[in-house]
Amino acid sequence: MARTGYTLPVFAAAAAKAAFLHLQNPLETLSEVSLDLLPERAKIPVQQVANIDDNSALAITISDPGDNLDLTRNTPIWAYVKCQARESEPLILAAGEGLGKTAAGEAAIYQYARRLFDANLLPLIPENKTVTVSIILPEGRQLAQRTSNEAFGILAGLSLLGTSGISQPLSTEEHLAELREKLQIVVQKHQDLVFCIGSHGMNIAQQLGIPESAIAQTGNWIGPLLVEAGLRGANSVLLLGYQGKLIKLAGGIFNTSSHLADAKLEIISAAVVKSGGNLAAVAAVLGAKTADAANKILAEQGLESPVFSALAEAICEKAQGYVHKYGNVALKIGTVLFNRQGKIIAQSAIAPELIAQILPKIK
């Protein structure tokens, strides 16, 4: 049975609450704090807590996402809490070292995280006091280099992002079994399917007029679910995906989790060569920090369309070979690639045909 854990905002809020409680009662030893996760409750272990002076304290928790493949596993989260005379508001949240900031300089602390802090700290703050919480992630700046945070405008660290306090182990074999069951239900209604990969996938599917009932969730398990679709009698699958995720298939990588394999820049570079790009373009792509940065470079050089069109065709070819190898069935596969902003940048030759096969079913 896969073990659930908690998301990063939970450990940040727990550290803040532990520091504040210790500031109020320095003689009490805190090994854990009770936290309202909205709506669940949880007891979160506290690694260390100490007063800095009469008005400030520091507490440390350790991230535990359960059996999820999460790069923040075992990451220390520090909360520096300072209490002073009431200013304009009772609770102020600030970004310390390792917690990212937006381009406007605001702390990358989003709605659910702020609700957590409000629910767990506001009831404890006296009416004449203001509490300032600075979240510090000592490893945040380094870990952020392994994410696409910069593409989202989050600079110099990680963000406190999420919609739930529970971290479900979505990358386990149990999740694959769940996705297979859902796919089997979709196939019963539609022989022409759409796999949406990336946060903008559903929006683009709606723009294209694709019915939600034809869309199957994949998580990172694109390869096994393509085989499942073929074995269950699907006629075709349209891969509608964020290029930084979906292009892995062009390199023969069919589980797209970055924890297992990541060769995006190398895959794009190979496509640059096949599309007639020069060595300077290849070097620029290999020197990019992210697939989004590589995409921008190619767009500036007029190579975006040929390179990503070639990648779209390569994805189809590799995916069809994968399905034939492991399922011994034929499956039509088309590809539509979009960028981080949700703009379609390329599609395979067969993609319009597959879209047309889906659309009449909702007329």
Rounded Cα–Cα distance for residues 20 and 299 (Å): 50
Rounded Cα–Cα distance for residues 47 and 74 (Å): 11
Count of CB atoms situated within 10 Å of the CB of 98? 22
DSSP 159: -
Query: Strand 192-197 to strand 236-242: parallel, antiparallel, or no bridges (unpaired)?
Result: parallel
- What residues pair up with 165 in beta bridges, in sequence order? none
Tell me if 291 sits within 8 A of 265, measured CB to CB: yes
- Tokens found for residue 176: 């694959």
Task: Decide: helix, strand or coil at residue 49.
Answer: strand
Tell me if 239 sits within 8 A of 315, measured CB to CB: yes
Rounded Cα–Cα distance for residues 312 and 68 (Å): 30
Tell me if 97 sits within 8 A of 134, measured CB to CB: no
pLDDT by residue for the chain (363 residues), tens only, comes to: 668 899 999 999 999 999 999 999 999 889 999 999 999 999 999 999 999 999 999 999 999 998 776 789 999 999 999 999 998 899 999 999 999 998 889 999 999 999 999 999 999 999 999 999 999 999 999 998 777 576 556 889 999 987 788 876 554 555 777 788 889 999 999 999 999 987 678 888 988 899 989 999 888 889 999 999 999 999 999 999 999 999 999 999 998 877 677 899 999 999 999 999 999 999 999 999 889 999 999 999 999 999 999 999 999 999 999 999 999 999 999 999 999 888 999 999 999 999 999 885 444
Tell me if 61 sits within 8 A of 110, measured CB to CB: no
Task: Decide: helix, strand or coil at residue 233.
Answer: coil
Write the single-letter amino acid at 120: N
pLDDT for residue 342 = 85
pLDDT for residue 152 = 56
- Residue whose pair of structure tokens reads 């995906």 in the numeric block: 241
Rounded Cα–Cα distance for residues 312 and 318 (Å): 10
Task: Decide: helix, strand or coil at residue 42.
Answer: strand
DSSP readout, 72-90? TTT-EEEEEEEEEE--S-S
